[in-house]
Amino acid sequence: MTAFDTYGTSTHTARQLADLLTDRLGAVFVERDSDYLGIYLLATLNDATRLQVQPNAIPGDDGDNDLYDEQHPDLPVLLLVTAPGPDPALRDQLAGIEGLARLTPTRS
């Protein structure tokens, strides 16, 4: 069962958050550029958990930015976590990052 979690912050920039995650988890982030998402940072942990740090404002078709997470317009940076299954230990580590809030956990 794949587990998805979304976190957000207004305290850290995308690069600052990626650096914090690198320090805590040993994650190695690579900068990516997407027509849909714009520039974002991606890391994959040993257990195939993907960590994606991205701006909430993404390029819109009309030249204006759209919000990736419209329910949280006050959070300019998002962390999207995709894990092979629920990971309480990772959730605890992320909970220890000041200014990072868990927003919408879902499972599929």
* pLDDT value of position 93: 95
Is residue 89 within 8 Å of 45, Cβ to Cβ?
A: no
For the chain, the structural domain boundaries read: 3-76+88-94
DSSP assignment of 53-90 equals: EEESEEE-TTSSEEESSTT-TT--EEEEEEESS--HHH
In whole angstroms, what is the distance from residue 92 CA to residue 57 CA? 27
* pLDDT value of position 59: 82
Is residue 4 within 8 Å of 108, Cβ to Cβ?
A: yes
The yes-or-no verdict on residue 71 having pLDDT over 80 is yes
* pLDDT value of position 65: 86
pLDDT single digits (tens) 7-45: 999 999 999 999 999 999 999 999 999 888 889 999 999
**Strand duo 77-83 + 101-102: pairing:** unpaired
